[in-house]
Amino acid sequence: EVHLVESGGGLVQPGGSLSLSCAASGFNFWTSAMNWVRQAPGKGLEWVSHISGNSGITTFYADSVKGRFTISRDNSENILFLHMNSLRADDTAVYYCAKEEISETEGYSGSFYDYWGQGTLVTVSS
């Protein structure tokens, strides 16, 4: 059974830093692309970042976090990370990790998120 468990959320001051983790089990983590998606209180879903499977050589970031957030992975421990710097009030959200299934024939255009974690809350406030 697939399990994704996020941790590391909490209260941080504007301009501060925080690192999130997502512990994965139940599937071949090292070959799987992974993503972070967030949801501000009472709002919809917003994609944050993607990292490719295997070496994680390919990363994508939403414009809203580019240059401030860094996604990485430890395939030996089956953990996905999101390192967040220069945090702002509008980064306040529940952060979810999601496993991505990428189509062999269509690539990213045929991809989807087949498993999600329960999320961890990040609050940026003074």
Partner 1 sequence: SYELTQALSVSVALGQTARITCGGNDIGNKNVQWYQQKPGQALVLVIYRDDNRPSGIPERFSGSNSGNTATLTITRAQAGDEADYYCQIWDNTARYVFGTGTKVTVL
Q: Which residues bind partner 1 (CB under 8 A)?
A: 4, 35, 37, 44-47, 50, 60, 62, 96, 98, 101, 103, 106, 108-119
| For partner 1, the closer CB: 4 or 12 | 4
CB of residue 84 vs partner 1: minimum separation in angstroms?
Answer: 18
Q: What's the chain's length in residues?
A: 126
What the block records as the tokens of 5 is 């468990």
**DSSP letter for each residue of 27-72:** S-GGG-EEEEEEE-TTS-EEEEEEE-STT---EEE-TTTTTTEEEE
| For partner 1, the closer CB: 28 or 112 | 112
CB of residue 4 vs partner 1: minimum separation in angstroms?
Answer: 8
CB of residue 116 vs partner 1: minimum separation in angstroms?
Answer: 4
> Which phi and psi angles does 90 have, rounded to 5°?
-80, 5
| For partner 1, the closer CB: 16 or 26 | 26
Amino acid at 65: V
CB of residue 124 vs partner 1: minimum separation in angstroms?
Answer: 21
Q: Residue holding tokens 């990485």?
A: 72
